[in-house]
Structure formats: structure tokens, C-alpha cells
Chain A
């Protein structure tokens, strides 16, 4: 199987869909000549031309708003928000327009669009270029929220997102762009709303997304050496949430640790914990623990940023706590 980076896998997904459907277009800041600030749209302009790969001014509301308008009239925009932090200047077009149009209009409109955005800390980009805002999007009925953790999943999920007839927020953790992995050639899809067991185990379930999946896997590996069998469930999609997969795993292991890089307070983990408390409380042998970012903006200094991001050590500590060891 060919090996490629997470970023290349995304690039391939977009290429495949652009070849397959002439209504798919790409737009965003620096997506053309530059190839995307993280290189995800590299080569697309040469291959598909300026009509389908559209460099935009720095105009996030208009980038998203034109995508919504174009999608309602039959196109399938794949737009790039350079950093998810920029959603603040353009949120209305996403949450009041794209997400609600179908419902508000009595089911008639169709908004097939993908908003890709980089997210996450780890490169010293500080408070306005490092956030994980998935909880904001999860809270909006009408959106789908996808957050892959591997090159393989990134490609299959992005193809599904582009083919989906709803507005999809596709969040790419920037630390993952350079990660290499096996990616099948050609087209394949991974259904939205399906979690994936990245490591099977029987003692504790760790639920994670994006970069935190790898933190969880490292913790699981170390804990295996100490005789603790950890199951790592990668949600892949946060909305719709794969409730069955979450409950199935917890019913098996009876212990749950949730790891994410979004702020813990009001974060995705709160929703997952509530779900488990509501539907599988009697199957739990220990309180649910969350390892997530503190209630703080993302700090700049490497010393502080390291403290901000969930670490393998903290995850191991949480697992040991729920194991009572």
C-alpha cells in the first residue's frame, strides 16, 4: 500500500472528487498559487485551473457565504479556512445560514459544502492560531463535524464529506499534516458518523480525536507493559456522534477516559461523558475522567504550550486512577 502524509492524503481526496464531479470547486486564502498554507491544495490550480481553484481575498465571511450560496444552487464547494480560529469573523454564514437553511426552508434547500480548517496547538502559533473549536460546531444542529487522526482516515472521510449533501466542518489538526501512513490508492469512502477502534483492549476505554488519538495510543502502549489493556476508540466524526460504538466499548471495559485538545469545560468530552452517564451508568466501575486543555487560551511559550496540550503522562495517570492502581 502506498505511504503518504496526512496532507497528501487530503490532497488526493480533493483531486479524486474534482475529477469525478465538475461541480466540486476549491476556494480560500492562498489555496491556488501557494497551494494552501499547509500545502493541502498543492498542484490543484495547475491541474484544474483558476475557475475551479479560486484564490480569494482575506474575506472569510464572503468565502463561506459564497460557498453556501453556490451550494444552494448546485455546486459542491470545498473551502479552506486557513485556521479554524478565523471562524470568529465568519461564523454567521456557517451557523445561521449553511446549517439552518434546509430546516428553516421546510426541508427544501440542500447545502453540500465542506469547510476544511486547520486546528490545534503544538507549533507555537499562540492564542489565535491554535485552538480546537470542535465543540462550537458540535453545538449547531445542521452541521456535521469530522476530525480525522490518520492519513488513511483523512482521505476516506474527506471523500465522504465532499459527497455528503450537508454542510460538513472538516477539522485537520496541524500536527498531523506531516504524519505518514499507509493510504490505499484510488477512491474509497469512510462513512461519516462511524468511530473506529484504533486499538483493542479490555480494561479501559480511551475515547479521543485527531492528534489526541496518538497520545492515547502511546499511553496504551506503555500501559500494556504494565499489564493494563487499553482500548482506544477514535471518534473520527463528532457530529453525528457514534453512540453505539461509544456505549459498546464502555460496556466492555467498564471504565472511560476521554482525551481531547479542546478546552475541557463545555468540551466534546462533556457530551460524551453525559451520554455514557445517561445510557451506561450501571456499566461503569469508575468515574469518567477527562484529559483536555485547561480553561485558558493557548499560550505561546513552548514551556506553557506543552503544559496546555494533553500529554501521554497525564493520560496514563488518568487510566491508572480509573483502574484504582
Chain B
């Protein structure tokens, strides 16, 4: 695989940033600083990182309720993300969206989404716009194993192939839709098995191996940009945390979690880069210190920012 060491370090940095951001968010949620629902991506960082490492600012993504990793990977600023999680006026959505609705259209982020399976039609539409306007851009649709069973996902995949649109469907299979395990919720072992029904390439990769994700998505994105239509990439992964913060996780056992923690994508990639001599312990420390500072700054920014004025409640609904 043709990849620069610089790119690999970027990917390592990005994964670490997602992990450190969310670890702090988890603490802040427990401390009562972050209201509402928080769905963490801890354990799944290799997916967003490996895919988005292939994207340009001019490309689009649609995200999910578990969106922090996608947003950071597509260039989202942790400062505005944190402020949004706090419900502050300076957040990405001016405090009107929260964790499940962070978006930045200028960065090609068409939004996290609170509705499971809502993203695929939107992503197909973004791809239609790219195709229609003759842009050399693609839209990546992140969705989970839960969304894999929604009709919207299947409608979108069918239409995307009928219209040969530049969209890449990335299934993040973390095995659970809240409590319901894919063993019970899916009639095929792999989400990617369904690609043949929509006449698109389907591949299942180790979603905890950032290089495998990078390579598979690189090919699919290239294919989409060359006008060859959509692809489906399934990334098998696992969320270390519950569905949301506060989830007692009664539906899965400790052994399973420990098994997957052994496969944690970050230490795994770290070891690989150390072995390759791309990273050194000093460099790792440097990266982590820099991220720590960014997150501290983000937290301070969020803490010090004002809440929206009640008078803003109905503003920003319509474009005049």
C-alpha cells in the first residue's frame, strides 16, 4: 500500500485525539457538565480515521448518533465540538444541536444524526449533487449495524447503484444496536454480504486495523470518483463503552469486552509504528501532550463560553 509515514502518523494522532477527547467527555458527562445523551466511539476510532484519511475538504460525510470520531476525522474542531456538548452559544450548532446533531457543512460534514438509518439517503443525495455538478467529490456514509436493517439504507443503496453515484457506504459493525446483537438482528453473517443485492462491491475488513480500513476505503473512494458507482465496506469493530454513557451493558459479558480491548486499534497501531520506526516513545509523548493541551483549551473555551440567550430559541429556523 502506497502510504507516506507522515500520513500514518496523522492517522495515529487522529485516533489518539478521538480517544482522548471522548475519555474527557465521559468524565465531564459523569460530572454533570454535559447534558443529554452521549454516545461514545471509544474502540471504533480506526474506522473514521482510516476512511477520512482518504478524503478532501471538498468531499462529504454523513455521520450517526455516535459521531464524534467522524467529525474529528473530517476536520472538526474540538473546541467548537466541546462547546456544543456543553450546550454553549459558541458551539458548532450554537447550542441548538448537541452531540447528536453536530455538523459543519463547510467542512463537508452533513451532520451527526439522531435517527438510525437517516444518513444513507442524505449521503446518496450529496453524491447526486457531486455527480450532477461534475465535481470530483465523493460522499461517505457512515452507518451502524442497527441502520443496516433499516429500509432507508436499502433504498439508498439501490438508488445509488441505479444512478451510479459516488457514494461509499461504510458500515461500522460494532455488533450491537443498543442491546440487540447482530446474531439475532441480521439474517446474514456480514453486512457486506448484502452488497451483491445492490450490484456493488462489498468487503468486510477488520475495523480495528486502521491500515485495512484505509486501504479498502481508498479503493472504494477512487472507484466512486472515477464514476464507477458506490461500494459497501463493512468494518467489524466494537464499542468499549455502552450504547450511551450510563448504559449498564447487561446484554454483553465482561469476557467479550476484554477480548475486544485486546484488539484495541490504538495500541495496536502504535506498536506497529514503533516497530516500523515511524514513531518513537518521545514522539508519542509529544503527540499526546499536544492533544491534551488542545482538549484542555477546548474544555476551557466551553466552560467560559456563554449559554445561548433565551431570545435565540426560535432563531435560525428559516433561511430568509
Given A65-B124, A68-B125: A73 and B319 interface contact (C-beta under 8 Å): no
> Quick one: which of B27-61 are within 8 Å of A by CB?
60
Q: Which of B6-14, B89-97, B239-247 lies at the interface with chain A?
A: B89-97
Q: Do B118 and A97 touch (CB < 8 A)?
A: yes
B108-133 contact mask (Cβ, 8 Å, vs A): 1 or 0 = 00110111001011111111111011
Chain B residues near A61: list those with CB within 8 A.
121, 151-152, 155
Q: Residue B97 contacts which of A65, A66, A106 (CB distance < 8 angstroms)? A: A106
Q: Name which residue of chain B comes closest to A96, CB basis.
A: B115
What is the CA–CA distance of A71 and B132 in the complex, to the nearest angstrom?
12
Question: Nearest Cβ distance between residue A299 and chain B, in whole angstroms?
Answer: 30
Task: Give B195 Cβ to nearest chain A Cβ, in Å.
Answer: 17
**Residue B251 CB within 8 A of the other chain:** no
Q: B96, B114, B155: which has the most chain A beta carbons within 10 Å? A: B155
Determine if A69 and B128 form an interchain contact, defined as CB atoms under 8 angstroms apart.
yes
Cβ of A25: which chain B residues have Cβ within 8 Å of it? 132
Q: Are B156 and A62 in contact (CB under 8 A)?
A: yes
Most buried by B among A66, A67, A72, A97: A66
Q: Are A74 and B122 in contact (CB under 8 A)?
A: no
Q: Are B125 and A66 in contact (CB under 8 A)?
A: yes
Q: Does A209 contact B (CB under 8 A)?
A: no
- A321 sits at the interface (CB 8 A): no
Q: A61-B151, A105-B103 are in contact. Are A96 and B118 (CB under 8 A)?
A: yes
The stretch from A2-10, A107-115, A255-263, A300-308 touching chain B is: A107-115
Contacts of B114 in A (CB 8 A): 96
Closest B residue by C-beta to A144: B318
B159 at the binding interface (Cβ < 8 Å) = yes
Q: Is the CB of A57 within 8 A of B159?
A: yes
- A103's partner among B96, B110, B133 (CB-CB below 8 A) is B96
Output the least CB separation between A24 and chain B (Å): 11
Q: Closest approach, in angstroms, between the C-beta of B126 and any C-beta of chain A? A: 4
| Contact string against B for A residues 60-92, beta-carbon threshold 8 Å, 1 for contact and 0 otherwise | 011011111111111100000000000000001
Say whether B189 faces chain A, with CB atoms less than 8 Å apart. no
Number of interface residues of A (CB under 8 A): 41
Neighbouring B residues of A75 by C-beta, 8 Å: 128-129, 132-133
Residue of A nearest to B314 (CB): A141
**Alpha-carbon distance between A105 and B111 when the two chains are bound, in angstroms:** 8
When chains A and B are docked, how far (Å) is the Cα of A106 from the Cα of B130? Answer: 24
Check if A101 is an interface residue, CB within 8 A of chain B.
yes
B277 at the binding interface (Cβ < 8 Å): no
Residues of A within 8 A of B187 (CB): none
Residue B105 interfacial (CB < 8 Å): yes
A59 contacts partner chain B, Cβ-Cβ < 8 Å: yes
- Is A93 touching B94 in the complex (CB atoms < 8 A)? no
Q: How large is the interface on B (under 10, 10 to 19, 20 to 34, 35 or more residues)?
A: 35 or more
Would B318 and A106 count as touching, CB distance under 8 A?
no
- CA A144 to CA B152, docked complex, whole Å: 24
**With A74-B133, A75-B132, A106-B97 given, is the CB distance from A93 to B159 under 8 Å?**
no
Partner of A69, one of B95, B104, B110, B318: B110
Give which listed residue, A59, A70, A103, contacts B155 with CB less than 8 A: A59
* Nearest CB on B from A58, distance (A): 10
Given the known interface contacts A65-B152, A69-B122, A69-B125, the answer about A108 and B158 at a Cβ–Cβ threshold of 8 Å is no
Answer whether A166 and B151 are a contact pair too, CB < 8 Å, given A92-B118, A108-B104: no
Q: Is the CB of A69 within 8 A of B121?
A: yes
Contact (Cβ within 8 A) B128 A104: no
Given contacts A96-B118, A104-B111, contact A71 B319 (CB under 8 A): no
A94 to chain B, nearest CB (A): 11
> Is A65 a contact partner of B122 (Cβ separation < 8 A)?
yes
Contact: B126 with A73, CB < 8 Å? Answer: yes
Which A residues are in CB contact (< 8 Å) with B128? Answer: 66, 69-70, 75
Interchain CB contact under 8 A, B156 and A73: no
The residues of B that contact A106 with a CB separation of less than 8 Å are 91-97, 316
Q: How far is the CB of A25 from chain B (nearest CB, A)?
A: 7
**Are A67 and B125 within 8 A (Cβ)?**
yes
CB-nearest residue of chain A to B159: A62
Judge if B317 is at the interface, Cβ distance under 8 Å: yes
Across-interface contacts of A101 in B (CB, < 8 A): 103, 111
B162 interface residue (CB < 8 Å to A): yes
Q: Are B319 and A165 in contact, with the CB atoms below 8 A?
A: yes
Q: Which of B127, B159, B162 has the largest count of A CB atoms less than 10 A from its CB?
A: B159
Which residue of A has the minimal Cβ distance to B89? A106
Binary A-proximity of B301-320 (CB < 8 A = 1, otherwise 0): 00000000000000111111
The residues of A that contact B318 with a CB separation of less than 8 Å are: 102, 142, 144, 166
Q: List chain B residues, Cβ under 8 A from A109.
A: 103, 105, 110-111
List residues of chain A with CB within 8 A of the CB of B124: 62, 65-66, 69
Q: Which 9 A-B pairs have the closest CB atoms?
A: A65-B121, A69-B125, A107-B316, A73-B129, A66-B125, A106-B93, A165-B319, A69-B122, A62-B155
Can you sample 8 A-B contacts with CB below 8 Å?
A: A62-B152, A62-B158, A65-B122, A66-B122, A92-B115, A96-B115, A104-B111, A165-B319
Supply 17 further A-B pairs (C-beta < 8 A) apart from A66-B156, A106-B316.
A61-B155, A62-B124, A64-B121, A65-B118, A65-B155, A66-B128, A69-B110, A72-B105, A73-B60, A73-B130, A93-B121, A97-B122, A102-B319, A104-B93, A105-B105, A107-B316, A109-B105
